Structure formats: C-alpha cells, structure tokens
Amino acid sequence: MSHKILVVEDDVDVLESRKIVLEHNNYKVVTATNIKVAEEILEKEKISLIILDVMMEHDSDGFNFAQFVKSNEKFKHIPIILATAVNQRTKFKFDIEEDGHFLPVEKFMEKPIDPDDLIVTIRGLLKVKTGNI
C-alpha cells in the first residue's frame, strides 16, 4: 500500500510541482492551501508524512500547524518536512540542531527543493517511522 503524503502550501505552482514529483514516485498526495483545510484532512485521512510551507496566509502558519501536529497524540508520529524560502543571508535559516527544540519537525529543506533530494528525504523519514518507503 502506498503512503499518503499531505502537502500544505499556498503557492499553487509549488503544490502542483510537488504533486507531480510525489505521484511519479507512487505516493498518494492530498493537498491543502491553508492550515484549516490541512487540519480537516488530518482528521479524515491516514497521512504518512507532511510537507509543510512555513509562510502562508500568516507568516507563522507553518510553525503553528507543526505545533498542532506534534502536540496531538493522534498525529505526533507523522514526520514533517518544513519547507522554507528564507536563508542564511537573512539570518533566518533553520537548523534541526539549533531550532528543533522549539520547532518539532523532522527535517528543514530550503526552497527551491530539488525533487530528487525530496524523494530521498521522504524515503529516509518513512523508513525510520514505518519501516517501509
């Protein structure tokens, strides 16, 4: 059975790109353009992994949604990849070592995300969490 991945992203072009890459790799994909819809999807569907944009309608939406997932017993096992468009030059680069304590996600990836790197990362996280990719 293939894993179902939730992509939360307010840029429809990025959403489409992620969907194509994931489906090409035989993952099922569900998408949400805001965190309200994402929360509804989590309640209804069995999600294996979340790819989450940091800044959506509000700058902190991605952080809030990550906190929501990780503080909920039902969902906290789901690995999250946090996609950020901010980088070192702006002093907002995130790092699991330094920022993981306040932002409980499994992986930060800086946009633009290389599609092949994304798949390798997803396989790694799913293997750790579920034993299959």
Partner 1 sequence: MDNLSEDRKALAVLAHDIKAPLSSIIDLLNIIDRGYVTEPEKSKELVHRAIHKASTLIKMVDDILDFSKLADKSLMKREKLNIFNTLNESILLMRPYAESKNINIDQCEFCINERFILGNHTFLLRVFNNIIMNAIKYNKKNGKIIFNSYENSDNSKIIIEVEDTGIGIPEEDLQKVFLIFERGANARRNIDGSIGLGLSLVKQIIEDHDGTIKISSTIGIGTIVKIILPLFKEGEKNES
Half-sphere exposure of 81 (CA within 13 A, CB side): 24
Characterize the bridge pairing of strands 4-8 and 49-53. Answer: parallel
Which of 64, 72, 87, 132 is close enough to bind partner 1 by CB under 8 A?
87
Copy the structure tokens of residue 36: 């309200």
Identity of the amino acid at 57? E
Q: Does 88 bind partner 1 (CB under 8 A)?
A: no
Residue 92 lies near partner 1 (rule: CB under 8 A): yes
Task: Give the per-residue contact string, 56-85, with partner 1 (x = CB under 8 A; - = no).
Answer: -xx--------------------------x
Residue 14 binds to partner 1 (criterion: CB under 8 A): yes
Asked whether position 114 contacts partner 1 by CB under 8 A, the answer is yes
Six-digit token pair at 100?
A: 């993981």
Which of 120, 126, 111 minimizes the C-alpha distance to 54?
A: 111
Least CB distance to partner 1 at residue 113 (A): 7
- Please, what is the Cα angle at 127 between 121 and 129, to 5 degrees? 105
**Binding stretches for partner 1 (CB under 8 A):** 10-11, 13-14, 16-18, 20-21, 24, 55, 57-58, 85-87, 89-92, 111-116
